[in-house]
Amino acid sequence: MRRLVTRIFEGKIISPWWIFVIDMLLVNSSLAMAYVLRVNINLELYSMWDFLRTVVWTSLTYAIFFLVFKTHRGVIRHTNLDELKNMFLASTTSLAVLLVAVTFWGPQEVLFGGTPRLVLIIHYLLVIFLSFGFRMLVKEAYNYFTSQKGNINTIIYGTGDLGLITMEAIKSNKNNEYNVIGFVDEDSGRHHVTLSSLPVVKWSDVISRKGRLSKVEVIILAVNEISVEKKQQIADACLQNKWKLKIMPTVSNWLNGISNTEQIRDVKIEDLLGREEIRLSQRNIMEGLTGKTILVTGAAGSIGSEIVRQLMKFPVKQLLLLDQAESALYDLQQEMLLSYSDAPFELILCSVTNKNRIRKVFENWDIDIVFNAAAYKHVPLMESAPYEAIYVNIGGTKNLADMAVEFGVEKFVMVSTDKAVNPTNVMGASKRVCEMYVQALSVQKGVKTQFITTRFGNVLGSNGSVIPLFKKQIAQGGPLTVTHKDITRFFMTIPEACQLLLEAAFMGNGGEIYVFDMGKPVKIDDLAKNMIRLAGLKLGEDIQIKYTGLRPGEKLYEELLASSENTLPTYHKKIMIGKIRPVEYNQVNKEILEMLSNLDIESDEILFARLKGMVPEFFCARLEELLETEPASIDQ
């Protein structure tokens, strides 16, 4: 029987006109039943003529409005709420027209004279009931005979719209692997009830493995809004009980906007490290960006490209996307053409270290705002190449900042890092020098450009981040390389960091260094272990963790503010103003110019010493070793 029905359903979709014919048969059958109900089965009270003329006008009216509302055009086995709504509107309109005809023309017109209003109302109710029932019967029969019950015992966490959509997607999938045995809801008022014929239980019942819940294998998280703390608790319980945790994304995050089981994905470590949704002051950002020409440097990088995506939500006049990475800039161009086909953007293939090319950019466009995300950020690489860290990070920032002042740019936003605090590496020290320069430049007499510095920690998924590295190592079978058991880092998602950056860009009057609330630090060792568990692997059996020791210039703990600094609150609880010691412009400018002019002739150790002179809190292990062994080799 199942095979026969499945073959029928999998055949050619029935013609819409056959659906129309079935609907009209239901209309006429309903009218006959309405007469029977109205006269209490005493049909002799009405003549056959009364009945036939009512059939003609009723059928004609319903046929017209069924065609107008196209009730026959939907695929019955995939009936949705919109199609039921069309059927309701068509039937209601037909009833209204018939009641008006009977009321106003019935007494004078022989064609309407014998039709009771109650018959029309009973008929309308029967049409709604039978037409809805017919469609739902076909749909449920299709789901029953064509769907395959999975063998993976599954619990759906959530009984709201997203939970029901998840259940519907599972039921409608022919190759379904999930066998849903219940729902979870934290609201005690929903416990001991059923949803889609399945029980709604407490999360504590699932954890204690009561009854049939002892066979749970998968938890699907299907909740529109859930705190990160709660999500982490659920993930911890799943890891402890060796359940797989999957997520049904919210509707706005569906691929292709279609509800199906392909949307259900494995939970990612980013889901558990994220934090509560950021609420931005859209008014301030809108006023600051509307109609502006904006230059984004490092636009093809992980931070720069996300800044571009965030900017596309606002009515900017022109976006200038500058980067020296040819392939990455091309990829960004293709993304822009695909997602923002009418976006006003220009690509600029250029290095921020090329002062003449940067000048041409400012000459060719009337730039209002600069977001400077161009920098070398990889700590160990910069330790072995201090020339590049100084040339790009310091020299490039100085080129851009000087041009911004010369060409009257309204605002200059610099992306800095927590590694600029008490730096132990060249990268952090170079970014601290950048902070010092733009802060000193902002208070110079006659400078109208507002210089804003934003300082935050690691961003999830950025180029060089530990998470993509761990994913790659897991895919290769390990081991996962962790530098130290106790090493910790602050983490923030790329969109979150860029949203806070936009918010900070339109605070204050310039010269401020804004520090972002990075939340609680995360132990990289714990991060690695959780990623192994989320991959369904066992630490020590399937995959190992290898401790390699701290790399050159690497800290055990990151900081957002030096101990001699403090912060002031802003109207946004996640953004603080760092009270940084002021620096004198002429002195810092002189030292930067000397450093840049001698880059080609000085040794790495001399460059380290120059950075140490500008940033006294910079602790350079290589320099300290050299001073201990050969103090005379460096001209202090």
Q: Which residues are known catalytic residues?
A: 419
Q: Using DSSP bridges, classify how beta strands 480-482 and 458-460 pair: parallel, antiparallel or unpaired.
A: unpaired
Do the Cβ atoms of 236 and 245 come closer than 8 Å?
no
**Cα separation of 628 and 636, whole Å?**
14
Residues 6+ apart with CB under 8 A from 6: 145, 146
- Residue pair 315/389 in contact (Cβ under 8 Å)? The answer is no
The structure tokens listed for 262 are 């392909």
- Distance, CA of 494 to CA of 506 (rounded, Å): 19
Cβ pair 611, 426 in contact under 8 A: yes
Q: How many CA atoms lie less than 13 Å away from 598 in the CB half-sphere?
A: 16
| Residue 82 in tokens | 């919109």
User: Torsion over CA of 319, 321, 322 and 326, rounded to 10 degrees?
Assistant: -160
Q: Is the peptide bond before 479 cis (omega within 30 degrees of 0)?
A: yes
Q: Which residues neighbour 560 within 8 Å (Cβ) at sequence distance 6 or greater?
A: 418, 421, 455, 456, 457, 490, 515, 516, 518
Query: Which of 217, 222, 221 is CA-nearest to residue 178?
Result: 217
Are 419 and 428 in contact by the 8 Å Cβ rule? The answer is: yes
Report how far residue 505's alpha carbon sits from residue 489's, in angstroms, rounded to the nearest whole number. Answer: 25
* C-alpha span between 373 and 354 (Å, rounded): 16
The two three-digit tokens of residue 276, written as one number: 């509560």
Q: What are residue 444's phi and psi, to 5 degrees? A: -70, 145
The tokens of 200 are what? 């709604």
Q: What is the largest CA-CA distance in the chain?
A: 124
- For residue 185, give both structure tokens: 């809801």
Classify 515 as helix, strand or coil.
Answer: strand
Q: 428 and 388 in contact (C-beta within 8 Å)?
A: no
As a whole number of Å, the CA-based R_g of the chain is 34
